[in-house]
Structure 1
């Protein structure tokens, strides 16, 4: 998507207060209103000003926007940084991942459901609002379960009208077998209520940190396993790492690079556990000594082998 500098659109610094934003919007909205503007692009500018105001007037949207960073230029190709929303606590009914067509759609996807939830809860005896946040865990924690201390930050307005982040830390039990995308519900940890109404709940969306070795698809896990040419050709017993310790696996005789071997039930635990898939990657030893080079030459002479026999059709 294309980046839009909402502060530049309203002629503001990033340190602008809530009142600064309102004044700038009113001034520009009057200038570019379709009924009065004399600018050729007035209608388009009016829409841009309105979009910028919709984001910057809302502390949660503004804080989320600010998390994208300030180094982007108007019109520049842009993607939100990975896991930009980790630990970002906000009110409402949940949000979806980034990647929409433009920033307006992005914030609509993130907070659109929140507005509907706020309207529903306004009529619900002043009960506290539900809050949401995304937390990252290690894949190993999904295999074994864990006790985690998590830090959350929620945007609030201070007395001067600046957006600040209010921090809190919670101790959370990560259950064994949890998948990416699942939610943990913490009763009463959402917004406060008034009177005798109950407080809201906090929903933690689980995501996995990027792992240097394993890839995750639902409950299934996969990894690339390096093997020597003779292990692939002759077969071998190899120790394979898993997120829950190592296991012995048989590499069948005559295996090719890219072969996918399944270790049943070695994926993320569950009522029906996932599987662990091992993709063989054949690694050639270097011909960096006379003896090694001679061994390659013996192998070349021993085989009547053309690796491109079927390549050209």
Structure 2
């Protein structure tokens, strides 16, 4: 069996890395090299290396034993002292196996097996002689490896974010093409992740599948601008509505609402409709802000022109001297 690669080197983390660092490193490599998303012929081997490394470093006992015994940690009996093991390995590499009490002249220790002076003296034979016949641990590395978590973007409309909904997505291509059903909860916001348990990458050797995380992206909307859970919308008003005040209808994702416009409202003024933004399953909903935009007729009738001229003559208002 080939020796276990250094899991710290495989994941690219320092030897004192904590579990969040290890998990982030593994997820990044798994996303990059999982065969479901990477068609490079070497990707599957890199993914397997990362999964094996993660299986060691994510298990406190395996990590402790790897730190103590190195790549052969799974072959070493549970009750072996690390210093005793180190002395045995040093003796094994010395030539005549001085560390084992001598007697195996002319041999060499390579890859967990003694070759030369004693035919067939594998590492379990050497350990048996050193530790009173106790069996070495498992013969090799293997076993189930969890599938990689995966991410994809899910574009939703403001209306879907407000009401929720369902969507069927097609992921992958070719022989790996598949569909997943997604429930969009009301009140999702841009950047929020929806977790689909067990819908990620396939596990290895019977290991569990990873999770699929859908990152919500709100599609641009012709009417609404979204900030968190607050919605912003323009409110067009005629000059007389802005000057005299009025009650104006406003479209919201939940239906039409009415907003009171105070007299003397200029363009840019924001009118707040409390609780008419995106809902929040854990708290108060956002607000909707209607921004006043005063519009004038593009083409005046004769009567309109006359009335505007009368207003201009009668008014002392100067918008440039405010």
Q: TM-score range by the shorter chain?
A: 0.5 to 0.7
2:157 aligned with 1:226: no
Q: Which position in structure 1 is the counterpart of 2:95?
A: none
2:292 aligned with 1:280: yes
Q: Which position in structure 2 is the counterpart of 1:204?
A: 214
> Secondary structure of the residue that 1:149 maps to in structure 2?
strand
Q: Which position in structure 1 is the counterpart of 2:96?
A: none
Aligned length: 193
Q: Which position in structure 2 is the counterpart of 1:127?
A: 146
Which runs of 5 or more structure 1 residues have no equivalent in the other structure? 1-57, 62-88, 92-114, 155-163
Instruction: Please give the per-residue CA displacement for 1:60-82, whole angstroms capped at 9, x wherever unaligned.
Output: 98xxxxxxxxxxxxxxxxxxxxx
Q: Which position in structure 2 is the counterpart of 1:71?
A: none
The answer as to whether partners of 1:147 and 1:174 remain within 8 angstroms in 2 is yes
Q: Which position in structure 1 is the counterpart of 2:159?
A: 140
The answer as to whether partners of 2:278 and 2:287 remain within 8 angstroms in 1 is yes
* Distance (whole Å) between structure 1 residues aligned to residue 315 and residue 52 of structure 2: 75
The answer as to whether partners of 1:286 and 1:292 remain within 8 angstroms in 2 is no
Which runs of 5 or more structure 2 residues have no equivalent in the other structure? 1-28, 39-45, 56-143
> Secondary structure of the residue that 1:299 maps to in structure 2?
helix
> Secondary structure of the residue that 2:170 maps to in structure 1?
strand
Q: Which position in structure 2 is the counterpart of 1:269?
A: 279
1:170 CA displacement:
1.6
TM-score (norm 1): 0.56
> Secondary structure of the residue that 1:191 maps to in structure 2?
coil
1:287 CA displacement:
4.1
> Secondary structure of the residue that 2:172 maps to in structure 1?
strand
Q: Which position in structure 1 is the counterpart of 2:256?
A: 246
* Distance (whole Å) between structure 1 residues aligned to residue 213 and residue 267 of structure 2: 43
Q: Paired residue for 1:255, among 241, 265, 281? A: 265
* Distance (whole Å) between structure 2 residues aligned to residue 309 and residue 117 of structure 1: 73
Off by >3 Å, runs of 4+ in structure 1: 115-122, 164-167
1:90 CA displacement:
4.9
Q: Which position in structure 2 is the counterpart of 1:105?
A: none
Larger Rg: 2
1:126-205 to 2 correspondences below 5 Å = 126-153=145-172, 166-205=176-215
